[in-house]
């Protein structure tokens, strides 16, 4: 009956309840007849009970419920038949008796029940009975009824097959070939019935029927399961008899669901070694499957099964197992066969979705990683094959979002399995990334960068490679891995090109123009962090890496440079420190630790010389003590002539002991290994940094405040580390020019000026001409500030430009630490002149207050306090010309104004009170008597009461 006539769900539920009631009623009467030992009535009620399974009005799911009710009751009837056999009735008679049932379906169920008991009793040949039953079941061709009937036959005959070693095997009973024939015949017939279910009903119920069929698929698969469990099933039988018939049935059924399920059941049901020997047959059938079959899932299942087999075999071989499995895997070249099969499938199915094709390559890549973990050539082959298969679809794979996601998964496999550092050696990776749309490629690039930043460093997996001779070891990064090969760095920028460059296609979404500053900065912060992971132990290689990164960053446009260039500059400054250390090590090796090493690395040389000086002083002191002891011993000898011989002997012993105590001369050192200094020079590196900072001066990438600070940091390095006066002067000159021309507001100008003064004050490389030019420019900048108080503060800071800290006299005497540097500037007259100029500016503020009378103009009190504080610090530093009289004059001037009614603003009042409290505390409890005496000369007014 066509299932188009299936009643509604409610009607089917009613029919099921009525049929279930009838089965229970007839089962009751059957059991009653069995108790009465009434064979005729027992068979009559059993046939009536099984007759309820003849319905065609139930869909498969509800029919299954009805079948299970009848199946449970058949066990009582089978027990009754067994009892009858004990009473002398032969099974042959019972087998003939049940065939008198009026309807085919009940008759066949009863025949199966008796036939299995007939086989079990050994009264009949299993081969003949099973063949009879499997052929008789062809009488039921209704899909649902026939499927469940054959499922009952298969389940009841499971333990009765003439398998090898079974009690039912024999010349007359049958052999393994008969068992195979029975299961294969039943499997083929069941598959036909199962497929026929799909073709019933209207097209609109297709999905519903597929769901119902999926619930019944295990009934068909049981035949393959029982086949795989046969003890007599050898590889030869499987290869020659089972597999060809199963594959023929799979290809001939022309059903998507059946082909997919049976291929998966075949792969999962039979042993791995069988698949290994028949791999070509399995792969050869895949192109013949229906276009709707998810071939990629079949391929993935097969490759995953063999990958796990290889992994388990490898583990077994390590533990003393059989290594022949691995040899066989290598001999059949499964990888090449899988790759060829994928290509054939794609060629045979022109309409194959791109996502399915990519999924097959994902599975192949996972297989290669499991079976051939150390061979990246296989990974490159997979990527190349994927690009060849998908390249004609263009970026975005024809707009298939699912395919793009699968391609991202494919590209993520090497990163996950091998790590970014290893994956960068894959030449076929970048071409495949170009098949992604720009936004999708950018998402992948972000994942790659994050993996570099978060992955464990290579040292975690093994020892780090040794540093090149003469190179200082790079400081370890806090986390992530370090990429130290120039080619890999170039490849990395190809991997993450969307993060450092706009789309190749003009107008494509996702470029810098489509992002606001916050989103763009969030992306570029990742790139900036990445730059700190691009480094090498060798300074020359590290510089090449930075040059490559610089070129890549410049190509990304000005808006990206605002975030990435500062990071690049700091990487260069860190490299310079290592460069200086490397040159010091090379100089030390070349000069045997002499003066050349000190010249190349003043700090290291000074430390070594101080240490040698201490050792010399200790040796001298020890020698003096020994001489003193010897003189005392001679004095004691004078009055004791009778003991001369003993004393002489004692003296000789002491001399012998002294000789023993004298340390042996150091063994001659082996000649130091030749250390090659880096080819990179400080001039080259600093010139590179100067060019790198340039784009930040202004324009779209303008970050003038950041550029100013970078120039000052590089200028300090050029002065104190590289000792290059002209380059240092250039950095400061650029910084001052940037201050004059580009800083946008007074606050940033004041902050920038203090940065310039602070950096310049610590530099000692400049000669008088260059220093005067820079200090004059800085002092002039102080007067270009608008607020009087800011001018005073800046002038007070600028006064320190003429008073630098003294150098270490001991180090200077040894000639270490000052090579290439000028003596510290200590010009008290210019210090005093600058502070007096600051006091004059404060006086101008007083005049302004007198003209306006505004409260905010009374801030000149705070300006005076700034000057007084600066004078006190200079006084503590013992600057000539700063004395108590000059400080007292300023104190009296401020106090007079306050007494005259000047009301300073809150900030100035607090600053004035703090200054007076400091003077009082130093006069009362200074650190030394000299400090107490110095501050005791001042007569400050009493500090104002706290508000």
The predicted structure's pLDDT at residue 16: 92
Tokens of 878: 């013992």
Count Cβ atoms within 10 A of the Cβ of residue 57 and give its class: 0-12 exposed, 13-18 middle, 19 or more buried: middle
Which of 310, 294, 262 minimizes the C-alpha distance to 359? 294
DSSP code for 229 = T
For residue 768, pLDDT over 50 is answered with: yes
Whose tokens are 């009613």? That residue is: 14
**Of 521-535, 594-608, 674-688, 879-893, the least confident:** 594-608
Contacts of 833 by beta carbon, 8 Å cutoff, 6+ apart: none
DSSP code for 123 = S
- CB contact at 8 A, 130 and 119: yes
The predicted structure's pLDDT at residue 315: 63
| CA separation for the pair 637, 330 (Å, rounded) | 94
Label residue 307 by pLDDT band (50, 70, 90).
confident
φ and ψ at 170, to 5 degrees? 170, 170
Averaged pLDDT score across all residues of the chain: 83
For residue 618, pLDDT over 80 is answered with: no
Question: Domain map of the chain by residue range?
Answer: 827-936
The predicted structure's pLDDT at residue 59: 83
Contacts of 383 by beta carbon, 8 Å cutoff, 6+ apart: 365, 410, 426, 428, 429, 431, 432
The predicted structure's pLDDT at residue 943: 64
For residue 48, pLDDT over 70 is answered with: yes
- CB contact at 8 A, 521 and 512: no
Mean pLDDT of 363-379: 84
791-800 as b/e, with b when 16 or more CB fall inside 10 Å?
bbbbbbbbbb
- CB contact at 8 A, 114 and 81: yes
For residue 176, pLDDT over 80 is answered with: yes
The predicted structure's pLDDT at residue 363: 87
The predicted structure's pLDDT at residue 293: 87
| CA separation for the pair 750, 728 (Å, rounded) | 22
- % of the chain with per-residue pLDDT over 70: 83
How many angstroms separate the Cα of 417 from the Cα of each of 365, 383, 938?
10, 15, 76
Label residue 201 by pLDDT band (50, 70, 90).
low
For residue 465, pLDDT over 60 is answered with: no
| CA separation for the pair 133, 143 (Å, rounded) | 18
Label residue 242 by pLDDT band (50, 70, 90).
very high
Neighbours of 12 (CB within 10 A): 18
- CB contact at 8 A, 569 and 710: yes
* Higher local confidence (pLDDT), 412 or 663: 412
The predicted structure's pLDDT at residue 549: 95
Label residue 528 by pLDDT band (50, 70, 90).
very high
- CB contact at 8 A, 160 and 126: yes
The predicted structure's pLDDT at residue 310: 78
| CA separation for the pair 902, 919 (Å, rounded) | 22
Contacts of 130 by beta carbon, 8 Å cutoff, 6+ apart: 115, 119, 157, 160, 161, 174, 178, 182
Beta bridge partners of 174: 170
**Of 40-54, 231-245, 323-337, 684-698, the least confident:** 323-337
Label residue 627 by pLDDT band (50, 70, 90).
low
| CA separation for the pair 602, 78 (Å, rounded) | 103
φ and ψ at 302, to 5 degrees? -65, -45
The predicted structure's pLDDT at residue 314: 66
φ and ψ at 826, to 5 degrees? -145, 80
| CA separation for the pair 703, 202 (Å, rounded) | 71
The predicted structure's pLDDT at residue 709: 95
Mean pLDDT of 244-273: 92
- CB contact at 8 A, 204 and 247: no
For residue 641, pLDDT over 70 is answered with: no
pLDDT, one tens digit per residue, over 133-149 is 999 999 999 988 999 99
Query: Where do runs of H (alpha helix) occur along 638-674?
Result: 644-661
826 in helix, strand or coil? strand
**Of 63-77, 196-210, 624-638, 769-783, the least confident:** 624-638
φ and ψ at 171, to 5 degrees? -60, -40
pLDDT, one tens digit per residue, over 919-931 is 999 888 877 888 8
Which of 187, 255, 242, 246 minimizes the C-alpha distance to 219? 187
Mean pLDDT of 471-481: 61
Which of 828, 834, 849 minimizes the C-alpha distance to 903? 849
The predicted structure's pLDDT at residue 260: 93
Summary count for the chain: helices (H), strands (E): 43, 0
Orientation of helix 704-720 relative to helix 725-741, angle to 10° = 160
For residue 226, pLDDT over 50 is answered with: yes
Mean pLDDT of 615-635: 50
- CB contact at 8 A, 209 and 200: yes
Q: pTM for the full model?
A: 0.74
Mean pLDDT of 509-522: 79
Mean pLDDT of 190-203: 81
Label residue 352 by pLDDT band (50, 70, 90).
confident
pLDDT, one tens digit per residue, over 589-615 is 776 544 443 344 444 333 333 444 444
507 in helix, strand or coil? coil
Which of 917, 916, 930 minimizes the C-alpha distance to 875? 930
Computed from CA positions of residues 406, 410, 416, 421, in that sequence, does the dihedral angle turn out positive or negative?
negative
* Higher local confidence (pLDDT), 641 or 444: 444
Mean pLDDT of 668-683: 70
> What Rg, from alpha-carbon coordinates, does the chain have?
48
């Amino acid at each position: 009956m066509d299932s188009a006539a299936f009643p509604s769900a409610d009607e089917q539920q009613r029919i099921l309840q009525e049929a279930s009631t009838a089965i229970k009623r007839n089962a009751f009467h059957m059991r009653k007849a069995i108790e009465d030992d009434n064979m005729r009535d027992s068979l009559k009620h059993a046939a009536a009970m099984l007759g309820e399974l003849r319905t065609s009005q139930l869909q498969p799911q509800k029919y299954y419920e009805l079948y299970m009710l009848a199946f449970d009751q058949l066990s009582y009837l089978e027990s009754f038949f067994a009892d009858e056999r004990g009473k002398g009735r032969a099974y042959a008679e019972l087998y003939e008796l049940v065939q008198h049932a009026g309807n085919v379906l009940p008759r066949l169920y009863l025949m199966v029940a008796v036939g299995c008991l007939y086989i079990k009793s050994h009264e009949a040949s299993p081969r003949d009975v099973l063949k009879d039953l499997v052929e008789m079941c062809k009488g039921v061709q209704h899909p649902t009824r026939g499927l469940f009937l054959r499922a009952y036959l298969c389940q009841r005959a499971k333990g009765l097959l003439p398998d090898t070693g079974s009690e039912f095997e024999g010349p007359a009973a049958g052999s393994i070939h008969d068992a195979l024939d029975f299961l294969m015949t039943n499997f083929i017939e069941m598959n036909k019935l199962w497929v026929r279910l799909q073709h019933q009903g209207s097209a609109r119920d297709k999905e519903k029927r597929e769901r119902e069929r999926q619930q019944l698929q295990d009934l068909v698969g049981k035949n393959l399961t029982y086949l795989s469990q046969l003890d007599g099933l050898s590889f030869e039988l499987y290869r020659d008899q089972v597999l060809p018939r199963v594959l023929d049935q799979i290809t001939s059924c022309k059903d998507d669901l059946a082909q997919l399920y049976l291929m998966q059941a075949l792969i999962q049901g039979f042993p791995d070694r069988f698949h290994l020997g028949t791999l070509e047959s399995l792969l050869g059938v895949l192109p013949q499957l229906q276009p709707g079959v998810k071939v990629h899932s079949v391929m993935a299942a097969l490759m995953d099964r063999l990958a796990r087999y290889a992994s388990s075999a490898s583990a077994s071989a390590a533990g003393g197992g059989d290594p022949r499995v691995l040899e066989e895997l290598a001999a059949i070249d499964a990888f090449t066969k899988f790759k060829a099969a994928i290509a054939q499938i794609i060629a045979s199915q022109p309409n194959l979705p791109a996502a399915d094709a990519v999924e097959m390559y994902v599975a192949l890549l996972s297989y290669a990683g499991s079976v051939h973990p150390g061979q990246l050539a296989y990974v490159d082959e997979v990527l190349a094959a994927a690009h060849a298969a998908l390249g004609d679809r263009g970026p975005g794979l024809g707009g298939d979002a699912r395919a793009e996601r699968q391609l991202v998964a494919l590209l993520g496999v090497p990163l996950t399995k091998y790590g970014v550092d290893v994956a960068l050696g894959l030449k076929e990776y970048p071409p495949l990334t170009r098949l992604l749309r720009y936004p999708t490629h950018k998402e992948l690039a972000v994942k790659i960068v994050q993996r570099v930043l978060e992955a464990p460093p290579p040292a975690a997996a093994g020892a780090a490679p040794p540093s090149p001779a003469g190179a200082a070891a790079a400081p370890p990064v806090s986390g992530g891995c370090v990429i130290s090969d120039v080619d890999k760095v170039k490849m990395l920028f190809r991997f993450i090109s969307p993060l450092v460059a706009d789309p190749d296609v003009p107008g494509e979404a996702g470029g810098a123009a489509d992002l606001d500053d916050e989103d763009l900065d969030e992306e570029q912060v990742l790139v900036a962090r990445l730059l700190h992971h691009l480094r090498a132990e060798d300074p020359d290689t590290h510089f090449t890496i930075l040059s490559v990164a610089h070129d890549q960053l410049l190509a990304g446009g000005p808006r990206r440079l605002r975030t990435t260039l500062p990071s690049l500059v700091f990487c260069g400054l860190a490299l310079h420190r290592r460069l200086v250390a490397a040159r010091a090590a090379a100089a030390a090796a070349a000069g045997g630790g002499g003066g050349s090493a000190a010249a190349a690395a003043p700090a290291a040389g000074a430390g070594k010389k101080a240490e040698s000086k201490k050792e010399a002083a200790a040796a001298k002191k020890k020698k003096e003590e020994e001489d003193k002891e010897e003189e005392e011993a001679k004095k004691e000898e004078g009055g004791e002539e009778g003991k001369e011989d003993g004393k002489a002997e004692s003296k000789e012993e002491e001399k012998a002991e002294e000789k023993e105590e004298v340390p042996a001369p150091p063994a001659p050192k082996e000649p130091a290994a030749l250390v090659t200094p880096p080819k990179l020079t400080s001039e080259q590196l600093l010139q590179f940094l100067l060019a790198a900072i340039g784009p930040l001066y202004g324009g779209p990438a303008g970050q003038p405040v950041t550029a100013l600070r970078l120039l000052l940091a590089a200028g300090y390095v050029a002065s104190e580390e590289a000792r290059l006066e002209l380059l240092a002067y250039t950095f400061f000159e650029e910084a001052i020019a940037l201050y004059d021309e580009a800083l946008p507001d007074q606050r940033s100008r004041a902050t920038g000026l203090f940065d310039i003064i602070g950096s310049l004050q610590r530099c000692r490389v400049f000669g008088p001409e260059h220093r005067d030019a820079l200090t004059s420019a800085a002092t002039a900048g102080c007067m270009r500030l608008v607020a009087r108080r800011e001018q005073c503060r800046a002038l007070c800071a600028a006064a320190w430009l003429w008073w630098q800290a003294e150098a270490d006299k001991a180090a200077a005497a040894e000639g270490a630490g000052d090579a290439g540097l000028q003596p510290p500037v200590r010009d008290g007259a210019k210090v005093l002149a600058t502070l007096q100029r600051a006091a004059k500016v404060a006086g101008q503020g007083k005049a302004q207050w007198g003209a306006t009378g505004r409260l905010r103009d009374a801030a000149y009190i705070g300006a005076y306090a700034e000057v007084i504080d600066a004078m006190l610090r200079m006084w503590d530093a013992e600057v000539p010309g700063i004395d108590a009289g000059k400080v007292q004059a300023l104190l009296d001037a401020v106090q007079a104004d306050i007494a005259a009614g000047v009301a300073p603003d809150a900030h100035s009042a607090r600053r004035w009170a703090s200054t007076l409290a400091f003077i009082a505390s130093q006069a009362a409890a200074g650190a030394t008597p000299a400090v107490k005496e110095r501050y005791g000369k001042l007569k400050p007014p009493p500090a104002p009461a706290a508000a």
